[in-house]
Chains A and B, each alone.
Chain A
Amino acid sequence: QVHLQESGPGLVRPSETLSLTCNVSGDSINNFQYFWAWLRQPPGKGLEWIGSISSSGSAYYNPSLGGRLTISVASSKQHFSLRVDSVTAADTAVYYCARQGAGNMKDWGQGTLITVSS
């Protein structure tokens, strides 16, 4: 059974860069059947897809979030990462990583709360 675990700083200052990592166990991150995704949920609000990456490193991003995003995969380390540049208070959210099937999010990490504040 696959297990995903997010790790991140908890608190980020405005205008700085947010970096998150998702460690994957129970399945190979090289499994070509799946993509690996990042999503987020602001406090008390709904879900938003951030982006996804294939095991070969092809990344796709939510066009509404602009060019601030970078998703990368480290196959040898069984993890993938998210970087968000120039964060603002609007980036405060619980961030989830997920194993993505044919567009749907089959398995989720428990989530990590990221607060953007000075």
Chain B
Amino acid sequence: EIVMTQSPATLSVSPGERVTFSCRASERIGDNLAWYQQKPGQAPRLLIYGATTRATGIPARFSGSGTGTEFTVTITSLQSADFAVYYCQQYKTWPPAYTFGQGTKLEIK
């Protein structure tokens, strides 16, 4: 099983700031990585796939980078709507054995 490790677990930031958080895979996964945003009481929403491609309707202030085992998301100029939990997911394996990170919670400082 490919283990996905996210850091940090919690990030306290102020609106308007820039923030970066990370995801590490236990083995190389190329660019087969997705990021999701989840707000309380809601289903997750796809943010980024292919490590760097924003999903439909995702604002340009979200960007993804990385390949292999190290991946990051950067959010420039944080807005109140961005405070949520973010999960990474690998989808390299075939047959499928998809795994998620444990999440990074973005909270208001």
Contacts and interface: CB of A to CB of B under 8 A. Distances in A.
B98 to A, nearest CB: 4
Interface string B66-102: 0000000000000000000001010110011111111
Q: Range of interface residues on chain B?
A: 20 to 34
Given A46-B103, A49-B99, A64-B1, A104 B43 contact: no
B87 A105 contact: no
B49 interface: yes
Contact of B43 (A62, A64, A96): A96
Contact of A104 (B49, B102, B103): B49
B106 interface: no
A52 B1 contact: no
Nearest to A96: B43
B39 interface: no
Interface string B37-69: 000001111100100000100000000000000
B102 A46 contact: yes
Contacts of A96: 43-44
Interface of A: 46-49, 52, 60, 62-64, 96, 101-111
